[in-house]
Amino acid sequence: MKLLSIFLYFLIISFSKYSYSDVINTKYDLNITILGVNIKIGEINSQLVIKDSIYNLSYDLISENLVSIFTPINGNGEVAGTIVKSKLVPNHYFYTYKKKDKIKTTNIKFNNSNVSFANVNPPFEKSKLTIVSDEMLKNVIDPTTAIIIIGDYKLNNECTVDYRIYDGKRRYDLQYQEKYIEDNNIICSLVRYKVGGFKLKDDEVNPFKPAQRINAYFELINDEYILKKIITKNRFSEISIDVSRY
C-alpha cells in the first residue's frame, strides 16, 4: 500500500470528552524509522466540528521535502456524519490528493451504514484486484470515521469494538487482539484482515506497506485515558504518529 494510504489510515482524533458543540484543532506528526534511522515524512492538520448530533472533520496532508523527492503528496479531505447513541454514522466521505502531476479523488456516500455511492477518479483497474461484492459494502464506515473511533477510548468501548471499513477501493476489517498496560499506558493492539479490493499479487517488499498489527497508546491523564500515539510496524519499517492539539 502506498504512503498516501498510510497517511489516511492513521488520521487520528479523540473527542468523546468534548461537549456536543465544539471545534477541535489537531496536528499529527508522521515519522518513519528504517534501519534505525528516524525521518519525519509529513504532517496532518485537522479540524473537528461537533454540533448537536452532527460531526464534521476536515484535514490537510503535507509531505516533508525529503520524502517528496520520491513520493510528493499533498491532499485534503472531509467526512461528515451523525452521532447516534454515541455511535458515529458517516454520511459522506471525500478525499483528494496530488501526487507528482496526478490528481486523484475519492467520493463515498452512505445510507444507514451501507454504501450508496462510490467513485474514484481516475478509476482503478478492478481486474487486478480481489472482488468487492455488494454484500461487503453493507454495515461499513469510511477509514477516517474508523480512526476517530480507534483514537477514543470511550467510543471504542475500551478497545472492544470491531471495524468494517471501505475506502472506495479496499474493504478490510480491524479487530482488537489484545490490551495490556505498559509504563502507565494502556496499549490496544489491532489486527487488519483483508476482505476485498487488494492486489492479486501483493507487494511484500514495499517498506511503506502498513503492518497487519497497529498499536494505539492511551495515557492516563486526570483519570481519563487520552490517545498519545500510534505505532505500526512491518518487516522493514516502523510508522509512528504523535498527536498534539492547538
Q: Helix, strand, or coil here: 160?
A: coil
Q: Give the model's pLDDT for residue 108.
A: 98
Q: What is the pLDDT of residue 206?
A: 56
| pLDDT recorded at residue 156 | 94
Instruction: Spell out the domain ranges in the chain.
Output: 3-245
Count other Cβ atoms within 10 Å, centred on residue 138: 13
Condensed to tens digits (0 to 9), the pLDDT of residues 155-171 reads 999 999 999 999 999 99
Q: Is the pLDDT of residue 1 over 50?
A: no
pLDDT one-digit tens code per residue, 41-76: 788 888 888 888 899 999 998 877 555 444 667 889
* DSSP state at residue 210: P
| Alpha-carbon span 159 to 100, nearest angstrom | 38
